[in-house]
């Protein structure tokens, strides 16, 4: 699988412009041979635009997902539609299974190249430090995986990186790759460099950590989207400017590393 991490320039609350940038990045990545494109956390609204969450919330299959799904089909590429702020009541009204009857969630959706929805992941660990996320959103309770491009793919979101038990659950479900849409801000650059790499090392799998490129009123994102291999070696990375990062992620490599270094078999 050729994985592309679309480190988007994100404007606070500029939903149409932000989604248009995402669609453009999907087209660019597909032209460069990507099989799967991952977008950042709350890429359409901007993570730190808390005052806009309720107004910009959408159900599953809403306008943002419609445009991303159409781009996936048009360009014949799988897309992790980063995350959006999901209106759970509207999703429930449409017949979707949701963790609460009402409220908002930080929700990732993975579309395949046919536009089929392969998984829905709602962020489990909501950030409360210097952030309104934990006050505004409802946590998820499901941890799905999907088979894609020879990989078993899982998704976690940003702050979830600090909770390694979540990744061990994904490993137990066969995951060979975890995609991590994020909105990681300064000054915690070293944490952003350390935690995805640690998850790759301890779980012997690929980690694609995709961040945004943005400056909000009270925060700036560190960028530095990176793909790590099952040894924790960075295969491709960026600085903090908007760009697309590419890496080839061979699913057989996961089996080779786990056979060579069988730490997962030594768990007690």
Q: Is 158 among the catalytic positions?
A: yes
Angle formed by the axes of helices 15-31 and 63-75, to 10°? 20
Gap between the terminal Cα atoms of the chain: 32
Q: Which of 36, 123, 133, 249 is catalytic?
A: 123
Q: Which position among 36, 41, 58, 86 bears the catalytic label?
A: 41
Q: Tell me the per-residue pLDDT of 169-179, one tens digit each, with 9 for 90 and over.
A: 999 999 999 99
Q: Strand ranges (DSSP E) for 92-158?
A: 104-111, 117-122, 145-148, 151-155
pTM, entire model: 0.97
Whether the predicted pLDDT of 218 surpasses 90: no
Q: Which of 36, 133, 158, 249 is catalytic?
A: 158
Per-residue pLDDT reduced to its tens digit, 17-55? 999 999 999 999 999 999 999 999 999 999 999 999 999
**Which pLDDT tens digit goes with each residue over 225-234?**
999 999 999 9
Closest CA relative to residue 25, chosen from 40, 11, 42, 46? 40
Domain residue ranges of the chain, discontinuous segments joined by +:
2-266
Q: Averaged over 202-216, what is the pLDDT?
A: 97
Please report the pLDDT score of residue 94 as a whole number: 94
Q: What pLDDT does residue 129 have?
A: 84
Active-site residue, 249 included: no
Taking CA atoms, 31 is separated from 78, 206, 209, in Å, by: 13, 23, 21
Q: Which of these ranges, 56-70, 123-137, 189-203, has the smallest mean pLDDT? A: 123-137
Show the beta-strand stretches assigned E in 10-96. 36-38, 78-80, 84-87
d(CA 98, CA 107): 11
- For tokens 């992790």, name the residue: 80
Q: Look at the domain 2-266 and name its fold.
A: Nitrilase/N-carbamoyl-D-aminoacid amidohydrolase (3.60.110)
Rounded Cα gap, residues 182 and 79, in angstroms: 15
């Amino acid at each position: 699988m050729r994985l592309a991490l679309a480190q988007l320039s994100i404007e606070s609350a500029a939903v149409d412009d932000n989604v248009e940038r995402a669609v453009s990045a999907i087209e660019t990545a597909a032209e460069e041979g990507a099989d799967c494109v991952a977008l950042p956390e709350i890429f359409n609204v901007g993570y730190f635009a808390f005052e806009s969450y309720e107004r910009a919330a959408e159900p599953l299959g809403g306008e943002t997902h419609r445009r991303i799904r159409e781009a996936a089909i048009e360009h014949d590429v799988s897309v992790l539609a980063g995350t959006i702020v999901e209106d759970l009541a509207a999703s429930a009204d449409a017949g979707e299974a949701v963790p609460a009857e009402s409220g908002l969630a930080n929700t990732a959706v993975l579309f395949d190249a046919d536009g089929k929805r392969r998984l829905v992941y709602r962020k489990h660990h909501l950030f409360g430090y210097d952030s309104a996320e934990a006050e505004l959103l409802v946590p998820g309770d499901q941890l799905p995986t999907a088979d894609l491009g020879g990989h078993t793919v899982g998704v976690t979101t940003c702050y979830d990186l600090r909770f390694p038990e979540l990744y061990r659950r994904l490993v137990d479900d066969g995951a060979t790759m975890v995609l991590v849409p994020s909105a990681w801000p300064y000054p915690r650059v070293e944490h952003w460099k350390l935690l995805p790499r640690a998850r790759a090392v301890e779980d012997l799998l690929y980690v694609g950590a995709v961040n945004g490129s943005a400056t909000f009123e009270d925060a700036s994102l560190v960028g530095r989207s990176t793909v790590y291999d099952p040894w924790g070696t960075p295969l491709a990375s960026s600085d903090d400017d908007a760009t697309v990062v590419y890496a080839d992620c061979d699913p057989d490599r996961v089996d080779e590393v786990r056979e060579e270094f069988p730490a997962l078999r030594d768990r007690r």
